Structure formats: C-alpha cells, structure tokens
Amino acid sequence: MLRITDARTGEPVDAVPARRGLTRVEAHVPGYDTSALRVLLVADLLVRALEIGGTPVWALLTGDREQERLHAGAAALGIRPFEDRRDVGPGWGESQAVHVVAEGGATPDGVRIAVAPVRTPEIPADADPAEVRLALLAVDRGTPAQLDEAALSEAHGTLMRWRRAVAAWARHPSRPVPDTVRGRLRTAWEDDLDVPEVLRVLRWVEESDLPQGARFETYAHADRLLGLDLTRDLGAPA
C-alpha cells in the first residue's frame, strides 16, 4: 500500500482510496521554472506508482500562466501529459485528491506532497533530458536539488552504463525478478516514494551475481516507475 507524508501534518497517509477508486493527482505550479518541473516530476512518479499498484489516476495541472511551456518542458523530461484543471468540466471533485506542491507554495485543501526547489534557475541548454530526470530522481524530494555539472555528469555516466548493461543482459535467457528484489523495490516506492532507495537497489543488482536475465527484468520493471528508457539500446550492436 503506497503511503506518503502529508505536508500538512508530517504524518504518513494512504495514497490509495479504501475502495481502489479514482485518485486525482493535482500538480500545483504558478509558472515555468526548474522547480515547477520538479513538482511535475514528483507528480508523475506518484501517478506511475499508483498505476503500478492498480489504482486508476486522473492527472491534473493547476496553474495560471506559461501552461504551454510547462507542458513542453514536462514532455521533454518524459513526464506524461497532465490535463489543465481549468479545462475540466463538472464532476472533477468526485475523486480522492493528492496535491503535489512546491515547498512554501500553494496550500490546497487535502493531502499534500511538498517538493523542495531546484537551485539551478535554468536547465543547461545542452543537457540530455533523461540525464536531467535522473539527476532530479537521485535527490530526495524534500532536499533542494542542483543541476550543476557534477550532478549531470554523474547522471550521464550512470545512464549510459545502465543502458549498455540492460542491452547486454537482454541477450541472455529471461529470468523472473527475484521475489526479494521485487519486494525491496516495491517497499521503497511505496514508502513515501523513496526513489533514491529504488536507485540504490538497482546499483546493488548491477553488481550482484544474479542471472543476467533476472537483472534485465529487474531494470525493466523498475523503469515503469523511473521512466528513464533504460531499454532504449536493445538490439544495438554489442
């Protein structure tokens, strides 16, 4: 059961309705900047985690300006589309809501997830969007993030290494994700969306003696949450 820390109280709450009904995930941003994109990224992770658990989700973007730029920036980072709340008709309030907000920002009624800012005002023009996504995923959402040269360089090295490894593992017979590893991954993302722990599990799997087919399936499974396109290089020359 996915549980998240409600920013209003500091206490964990269930993100899944008791009857597994529709959950509305609302991302609240006033306009476009890197911190707004981080809010959208956390909302995207929440949507993915809920869907993996079988919960239907309705994703909405709440904001008054720069909507087109926000949508474009989100798409570049692999964030799936959010509907503009202002375009939604009657009946939108009939579902459970979880609000994703910037620290010190909007204070809507209901469960809130707070996201710390990004200290880098602009994404470097030559930055690979997948590397930006990984650099942000590697930092706990409650900690301010930096998209500086060191963070992006580390993300680049990790992403290239993992994609090469996944392509190599895919050439071996498939094996199921070991139950213990699947449990560690699920425990991590169901425990307050602890994505840095998910990444630590993948690093352990990378260096483990698990069958290569099992390592491939583990990374493909985790990428349903991470959205890093880790299987991109399948079929590429060795």
Residue 13 pairs in a beta bridge with 4
**pLDDT the model gives residue 86:** 64
**pLDDT the model gives residue 64:** 72
Q: What is the pLDDT along the chain (238 residues), one digit of tens a residue?
A: 899 999 999 999 998 776 667 899 999 998 899 999 999 999 999 999 999 999 999 999 987 778 889 999 999 999 999 998 765 554 555 568 899 999 998 899 989 999 999 999 889 888 999 999 999 999 999 999 999 999 999 999 999 999 999 999 999 999 999 999 999 999 999 999 999 999 999 999 999 999 999 999 999 999 999 999 999 988 776 6
State the pairing for strand pair 3-6/11-14: antiparallel
- C-alpha of 89 from chain center: 28
**pLDDT the model gives residue 85:** 73
What's the first-to-final CA gap in the chain, in angstroms? Answer: 40
The HSE-up count of residue 30 (CA atoms within 13 Å, CB side) is 6
Token pair belonging to 231: 């299987």
Token pair belonging to 116: 């710390």
Dihedral pair phi/psi, residue 15, rounded to 5° = -90, -5
- C-alpha of 3 from chain center: 15
Distance CA 210, CA 177 (A): 10
**pLDDT the model gives residue 18:** 64
**pLDDT the model gives residue 11:** 95
Tell me the whole-structure pTM to 2 decimals: 0.94
CA-nearest of 148, 129, 141, 155 to 38 is 141
Sign of CA dihedral 70, 76, 79, 84: positive
**pLDDT the model gives residue 40:** 97
